[in-house]
Amino acid sequence: MRYFPLFADLAEADVLVVGGGEAAARKVRLLCKTSARITVVAETVTEELRGLAERGAIALLPRAFLARDLHGQRLVYAATGDGVCDGAVSRAAKARGIPVNVIDAPALSTFITPAIVDRDPVTVAIGTEGAAPVLARQIKALLETLLPANLGVLASRARDLRDGVARAVVDPRRRRRFWERLLRGPFRRAVLSGAQNEAGRILAAELEDEHRLTHATPTGRVTLIGCGPGDPDLLTLRAVQRLQEADVLVVDRLVDAKILEYARRDAERVFVGKTPRGPATSQAEINRLIVREAQAGKAVARLKGGDPLIFGRAAEEMSACQAADIPVEVVPGVTAAQACAARVGLPLTLRERIRQFAVVTGASAEGEPDFEWPALLAKDAAFAIYMGIGNAPLLRRQLLSAGADAATPVVIVENGTREGERTIATTLADLTDAVAQHAVVSPAVIFVGLDWAEAGLCRPAFVIVHRRARRPAIERPLERRAANTEALT
């Protein structure tokens, strides 16, 4: 992030615009929405700017820019379109420590003006750091359709209620939850529809309920959130909502840092990652942590990679919450097998060919998995192995011993949906060699029995194909001598 977003208070502030053309007029139109004192310096101006000056909305200095024009200014815009003049304004403003924006010249500017969605007093600013203004306008157009035209009425009503609500709901955490209920539920709908009396009745009922709850034993809640394999775009809408509501985030190692951007900045973050064969927070300690925080009345979000109910030890955490009478909710996520298969275009089932698909874990509490290996090898079945990279030699050996064909197709997806994603196509015979040769590390999913050709699809060009070179058979000396003798007779 090069440009730090903020909102400048321009109430009764002096702002200078240098230039009198259409570019300058666009900035003046925007500034006129504030109560700033606007001065325009230009030898010639548009009819629009001249009209604003005649009505007293702006002050107009019909001459060339002078450095003394900068005295007392809060912000400066240079919009002459003349590189020499705009450069002079930029240098003079920077020398005086005054923020300056030169239209279409980020290198000369110390601030930029974002695209704005105006629902006064709600303002949404969209910036691309000058990289793609058209994209910013497209995002603005989308938001214009999503936000009610009278959303500002709701914000104004909330502003009028702030002091009264602060006196009635003293605890900051409870007050935040009160506002979340108020601005998301029936009160919001009543205000936006213009039913002010109904909104007042709802407000009174909410305050009465809050007063009753304030004197009750504080109760929090726990939400187990599936964060998918990594890509934040795969989060569900409910996952984003629960992240926004959480007071405490209890975060697994495989949860991508970008996902935490969806949470409140003031939420407490506790990292409880389990490193394979390395440091780890015990499951018992995690259970105690989420129960303790919820008993303190906090909303706890337990963030897990993939889906909480698939190899996520969700049962243990849910059991701990239920034993402590703490409400617990599970928000499902996209599990790794689905996400990785989708990324590489690999169907998990095929009509008349693959009728069952399983997910198994390649590691156990004892370190080595122990399956009914023949059951995995049914002729109409395929499966995905999670956490199997460390035990790849064992998995290969056990599957071959159980009767698997050495030519069974295997697809390894490493860091699926994340930066550094790789896909390797190989066979069961070459699985161990592929993992070693390509230095595959976790997280990775190993698909067994799936192949693009079998589905009538082309293998993606980015897939690495690994086949171990086979050495030609070497005859033993005695056999070679016998063969030569036979050839001579």
| Positions marked catalytic | 252, 274
**Rg, the chain, Cα only:** 33
Strands 328-331 and 221-226: parallel
Please give the Cα distance from 367 to 16 (Å, whole number).
Answer: 70
For the record, the structure tokens of 229 come out as 């394999």
For the record, the structure tokens of 21 come out as 């053309």
Long-range pairs, 399-402, Cβ under 8 A, ≥24: 399/373, 399/428, 399/448, 400/428, 400/429, 401/373, 402/373, 402/374, 402/376, 402/377
Q: 10 Å Cβ neighbour count for 394?
A: 16
Contact call for residues 177 and 244 (beta carbons, < 8 A): no
Q: List the Cα angle 40/42/43 in 5-degree steps.
A: 145
For the record, the structure tokens of 469 come out as 């070179």
Contact call for residues 79 and 104 (beta carbons, < 8 A): no
